Chains A and B, each alone.
Chain A
């Protein structure tokens, strides 16, 4: 069992947990993720390691309610525990030896982006961050990014904070104005990573994205998370989750994310009549 030591709400439907997992904390690096399972009936859910403290033996995860399983996790409290937690998984990313990097986060994507921005800063890079959210209320980790960024831009869909519009609008302005970066890192909804990659391709700016594909085991044994990169099939859980955004087939990824839409609706229905214990009545 992996105990939740701390919980706080970052935004409506977005929760941050600090979890006791000393072995995982010892090995975690930016880019790594883990898989959790709440109870015996639960799915295996992949979550990015958003931060870690090796001395205290803790890891931080940030999760947004989007369906039954994420809501079940968000409803856990301080003192509760995960039944299973496995990690670190995936390939860490290299954050050394960059002079100037632009970090672009959208929605919950700010969470996996943060450890990368932090590490880049620690390794001496100049970090420019562009964070996006639907509304000011839903923007997460602004303070944390403020600390690790040399410049921070914010975009909201409704203009309630920063610029009204998308992160790509700000990025395009910067690139248009002639600002030069060695690398762009974009993490957020698939559609946003696609838009960023299409934009940066025009400027020949190397772009790294981190895919949030569907996963089961997270150790390369099923291929559920497969993705076409430069025409080749890769498994996001072992070859990624970070890839060159200019080589990823985003349309395929967008399609694969829709695979279980009907099933998700069914679990939601069962959630309405009182949660997991009554679900068998639906079947």
Chain B
């Protein structure tokens, strides 16, 4: 095969340079490279890749259009199913989804589906506005402007519903805006994608905390026929350690919100400050932890380390992100668990005590259980600690609407149609699954939009 056994390389910023800026690391394909990569696709008659995509993008079809140089048409094809392709192409874990199923990937590297999706989405960034379809099928309220809510809203608008999204922050996008850093996902791209969803006729009301300014019942009283809850999992977990409230201990959510949403990396032009010392420890090893550790380096930390209680194999972050973090100089302290955070006389962090761990039997999830090695406590010298050990759903909306049943973890219970225990209220994304991926949230938003359509049609 002339196309080669590996994916076309994507140019990226040099690690030594990029660690000093917040610009995007991966620079994207040019037209020629995109065509070359598209030509690696075998155009399977029974494409497995498509089944691996939570929003079922017509992958071989759009890739064929790229191979033919019909980039606009390719983008249109993607957009039939995916409302946020410039984002998915950048942040989806394709290695676990579409690309994991690619036939080329059995012997060689799979086709770079994500890179091609990103290419076509970027290609049409400045293209003309879409015209909204006539919105006469009913009114739907969407709570939360993250990936789930934006997708549900866009799909419902395309079906002919009048959609209003209520967002508590001053900018839409959810985790795309406050969580994922600029160097992985430029905020300009997010805002552009959101603008395109607004072009479909979706109204986004900012600064509205549903559960406070109004409840779900009030939405129904205002004439909405159905409500979709896509409020995510934004409540940070702490470990309950001694010293966790010292100055210099952040939740990853706070640290990243200051930097991404409030642009604290441009302080003092932007007025929100962020504190980062010389030596930063990030507790956890998911994508959020990698984002926090890499952000700390860009803010001037001399050392940034991941502290994780399990081993290399068990780290939940994407391989690509772990690799990028390593290239940039993030250290990995594996099989270490913090036991307490140590402070100085002014109440600032001066160190962290950890215990060494070993891996025992596999638990129900299949991961080997970490066990502390008795007496192995030691201190590490750090002045900033960022907790990135996961998030739970925010309870504000649920406290106001107790009829919506939840699990012991605070996630919303839904049936297979994504309807909650309260009639006419649907839910999807992290608020149902707990913290997961952008594309899974989008898949859930898509399914919910279908169910909401059926529900409203049935009501007549």
Which A residues lie at the B interface, using CB under 8 A? 23-24, 27, 37, 41-44, 68-69, 83-89, 216-217, 219-224, 226-228, 233, 238, 252, 255-256, 258-260, 263-264, 266-267, 270, 276, 279-280, 282-283
> Could you tell me which residues of chain B, from 252 to 300, have a CB within 8 Å of some CB in chain A?
253-254, 257-258, 262-263, 266-273, 275
In the complex, residue of chain B having the shortest beta-carbon distance to the beta carbon of A227? B245
Are A260 and B254 interface neighbours, CB within 8 A? Answer: no
By secondary structure, the B interface counts as loop
By secondary structure, the A interface counts as mixed
Given known contacts A220-B394, A256-B247, is B271 in contact with A276 (CB within 8 Å)? yes
Given known contacts A219-B396, A259-B247, is B271 in contact with A27 (CB within 8 Å)? no
Q: Which of A43, A227, A228, A255 contacts B262 (CB under 8 A)?
A: A43
Are A267 and B268 interface neighbours, CB within 8 A? Answer: yes
Are B209 and A255 interface neighbours, CB within 8 A? Answer: no
Which B residues lie at the A interface, using CB under 8 A? 168-170, 206-209, 212-214, 234-236, 238, 240, 244-245, 247-248, 250-251, 253-254, 257-258, 262-263, 266-273, 275, 346-347, 394-396
Are B238 and A233 interface neighbours, CB within 8 A? Answer: yes
Q: How many A-B residue pairs have CB under 8 A?
A: 123
Are A87 and B212 interface neighbours, CB within 8 A? Answer: yes
The 3 residue pairs across chains A and B that have the minimum distance between CB atoms: A263-B273, A255-B347, A222-B254
Are B247 and A258 interface neighbours, CB within 8 A? Answer: yes
Min CB distance A232 to B, Å, is 9
Given known contacts A27-B212, A84-B207, is B396 in contact with A238 (CB within 8 Å)? yes
Are A282 and B236 interface neighbours, CB within 8 A? Answer: no
In the complex, residue of chain A having the shortest beta-carbon distance to the beta carbon of B168? A219
Are A223 and B240 interface neighbours, CB within 8 A? Answer: no
Q: Which of B207, B253, B268, B269 contacts A222 (CB under 8 A)?
A: B253
Are A279 and B268 interface neighbours, CB within 8 A? Answer: yes
Chain B residues with CB under 8 Å of A227's CB are 245
Q: Which of A84, A85, A224, A280 contacts B254 (CB under 8 A)?
A: A224
Min CB distance B115 to A, Å, is 32
Interchain CA distance A192-B334 in the complex, whole Å:
46
Min CB distance A76 to B, Å, is 15
Chain B residues with CB under 8 Å of A252's CB are 245, 347
Are B170 and A266 interface neighbours, CB within 8 A? Answer: no
Given known contacts A222-B257, A263-B275, is B238 in contact with A255 (CB within 8 Å)? no
Q: Which of A69, A223, A228 contacts B271 (CB under 8 A)?
A: A69
User: Can you pick out 24 interface pairs between chain A and chain B where the beta carbons lie within 8 Å of each other?
Assistant: A27-B212, A27-B213, A41-B269, A41-B270, A41-B271, A43-B262, A43-B271, A44-B170, A84-B207, A86-B209, A87-B213, A217-B168, A217-B257, A220-B235, A233-B244, A238-B395, A256-B247, A258-B347, A259-B248, A263-B273, A267-B267, A276-B269, A279-B268, A279-B269
Are A44 and B262 interface neighbours, CB within 8 A? Answer: yes
Min CB distance A88 to B, Å, is 6
Are A223 and B213 interface neighbours, CB within 8 A? Answer: no
Are B236 and A222 interface neighbours, CB within 8 A? Answer: yes
Given known contacts A27-B213, A221-B234, is B271 in contact with A255 (CB within 8 Å)? no
Are B273 and A260 interface neighbours, CB within 8 A? Answer: yes
Q: Which of B269, B272, B347 contacts A43 (CB under 8 A)?
A: B272
In the complex, residue of chain B having the shortest beta-carbon distance to the beta carbon of A68? B271
Are A221 and B257 interface neighbours, CB within 8 A? Answer: yes
Interchain CA distance A42-B262 in the complex, whole Å:
8
Chain B residues with CB under 8 Å of A279's CB are 268-269
